[in-house]
Chains A and B, each alone.
Chain A
Amino acid sequence: MPKITFIEFNGTEHVVEGEVGQTLMEVAVKHSIPGIEAECGGACACATCHVYVDEAWLEKTGTPKDTEEDMLDFAFDVRDNSRLSCQIKVTEELDGLVVRLPEKQY
């Protein structure tokens, strides 16, 4: 099972196992990672599952679709490597993925 590292804004690291097919948001919620709110349950309608993808992983996670970019406009402190974690599907390829959390979700 792919290992995913979530790093909280304060630096606390959480290394957890994701299941292929889950979204990154679902992995975070299942492991109660603090800092992922996911108010809309993954419908790409709330922007409270915002993460920063580690630069080394940007190619593998791909680029956001238009609907995700639209929603990212409403996220807190958006940067070039910002993504909504409910829009990233866990694959074997993402084994080792590192994402950081913003200071807050809104």
Chain B
Amino acid sequence: MISKSQQQTTDVSVGEPIETDAVIIGAGPVGLFAVFELGLVDIKAHVVDILDKPGGQCAELYPEKPIYDIPAFPEISGQELTDNLLAQIKPFEPTFHFQQRVDALQKLPDGRFQLTTDIGQVFITKVVVIAAGGGSFTPKKPPYPGIADYEGRSVFYAVRQREQFRGKDILIVGGGDSALDWVLNLQPIARSMKLLHRRENFRAAPDSVNKMRALVEAGKMEFHLGQITALHGENGQLTGVTARHGKGPEFEIACDTLLPFFGLTMKLGPIAEWGLNLHENLIPVDTEKFETSIPGIYAIGDINTYPGKLKLILSGFHEAALMAHSAHRVVHPDKTLRFQYTTSSSSLQKKLGVKAS
């Protein structure tokens, strides 16, 4: 696995509007397999996910846990499944856009769709595949009174522009990989770095914990045991926090920037506003094409609902295959699609980059 600090040093930035055949919203297992099925029918895809990595729930919630019901894999972990899917879709060269949430979806007069992400990236596409699972992964907010007043100004739940934190007095809270990776990543550019965690043990990788402890030894940062009980500051600008460990005495920590990392939870988010007649936060689709109430917009995987729906990875894979065949008619209306096997079709094998035997 690539560690977050290596991956995240590239800042997220907005480019020119992108015109494409298909945009897949969500890089979970089902979104990833959709790249494969679309690729087989000559549809290139861009994939957008709010996470900083592919794999959706499998990579974010249970990378190490075994899954036992993936056909032909008696046992495979969430991360292995993700890695295998990435290897399988490689020939189709999808373009990933991570750390961006698709916020707006509009139909254009020419029948195509315009998607806009939270940072303003625009996509113009012939088909939209919503593979949004349980919704966008959103940071959990800690229970500090008045925290909302500071959000976006001196409290941040993610780092998108590392430079923004240069010269700051940073307090990071948490004991997971995100917390530790950002401690190590931002410490060199911060004016001061402090870490607060509720216990001596960390869930983060031992290597990161050792590096953090070495920085503390060297006097380059501080580590405090405890939990925040109050925030101090005014007009959205934090000046410090009060913290406490168990029943011990309260103490103050000065800081002008607070980064709490308490994991992520899935929130449906903007999809609710796209006019797709949601039913209990799920998108109703037909079971022939997995199309939504708007032709050209498909929904596959955990996000959709239809009679008999099972929220299983294998069901999502099946849905991706049928979706792709329907999307072919939208993207390549002049071409007829022949049903072919990857085992025997030389044209499919050419697309996959394998040598015909």
Q: Which residues of A contact B (CB under 8 A)?
A: 39-40, 43, 45-48, 66, 69-71, 73-74, 76-78, 80, 103, 106
Contacts and interface: CB of A to CB of B under 8 A. Distances in A.
B197 to A, nearest CB: 8
Interface residues of B, number: 23
B266 A69 contact: no
B194 to A, nearest CB: 17
B141 interface: yes
Nearest to B267: A106
Interface of B: 61-62, 65, 134, 140-143, 174-176, 197-199, 201, 203, 227, 246-247, 262-263, 265-266
Given A45-B62, A48-B265, A76 B174 contact: no
Nearest to A103: B143
> Helix, strand, loop or mixed for chain A's interface?
loop
Contact of A70 (B61, B134, B141, B203): B203
Contacts of B199: 69, 73
Given A47-B263, A66-B201, A76 B62 contact: no
Nearest to A47: B263
B265 A73 contact: no
Contact of B176 (A73, A103, A106): A73
A66 B194 CA distance: 25
A39 B262 CA distance: 16
A73 B65 contact: no
A47 B262 CA distance: 10
B198 A106 contact: no
A78 B69 CA distance: 34
A46 B61 contact: yes
Nearest to B263: A74
B218 to A, nearest CB: 26
A69 B198 CA distance: 10
Interchain residue pairs A-B with the least CB separation, the first 3: A74-B263, A70-B203, A106-B140
Contacts of B141: 106
Given A74-B140, A77-B143, A45 B61 contact: yes
A2 B203 CA distance: 34
Contacts of B174: 73
A70 B142 CA distance: 16
Contacts of A66: 201
11 contacts: A39-B134, A40-B61, A46-B265, A66-B201, A69-B199, A69-B201, A73-B203, A76-B140, A76-B142, A77-B143, A106-B140
Looking at B134, B199, B266, the one whose CB has the most chain A CB atoms below 10 A away is B199
Given A40-B62, A70-B176, 16 more contacts: A39-B265, A43-B62, A66-B201, A69-B201, A70-B201, A73-B174, A73-B199, A73-B203, A73-B262, A73-B263, A74-B176, A74-B263, A76-B142, A80-B247, A103-B143, A106-B265
